[in-house]
Amino acid sequence: QVQLVESGGGLVQPGGSLRLSCAASGSIFSIYGMGWYRQAPGKERELVATITSGGSTKYAEFAKGRFTISRDNAKNRVALQMNSLKPEDTAVYYCRADRVQTRLGGPLYDYWGQGTQVTVSS
């Protein structure tokens, strides 16, 4: 019923920038929170940034001052602008939508995208 598709990943040099985008589709009535998580090889998946439907944001410490999350509620889309990228930012970045209310009604569910690879290397 609900799908999340990420785009914008790729290879970038240290100090460069990249913009990730995620679009949620399906019979969606509302989404409370949308955000980005990442997982590097051999490590646990971790929060990067989240934003609520009201615009409240939260960033991981490593993302503060470098990354900016934004959202378009009407289009059910969330973006992550990443600047001053470092090699340690290399990971698969996953889009997440939490507390999604579908137009069919019923309980709220959380959804994950399939991920997009971000590689920071010279």
Q: What integer best gives the mean pLDDT of the chain? A: 97
In this structure, which amino acid lies at residue 47? Answer: L
Task: Give residue 72's pLDDT.
Answer: 95
Confidence of residue 1 (pLDDT cuts 50, 70, 90): confident
Neighbours of 114 (CB within 10 A): 11
User: Mind giving me the DSSP string for 38-91?
Assistant: EE-TTS--EEEEEEETT--EEE-TTTTTTEEEEEEGGGTEEEEEE-S--GGG-E
Q: What is the chain's Cα-based Rg?
A: 14
- Tens of pLDDT, residue by residue over 26-55, are 999 999 999 999 999 999 999 999 999 999
In this structure, which amino acid lies at residue 41? Answer: P
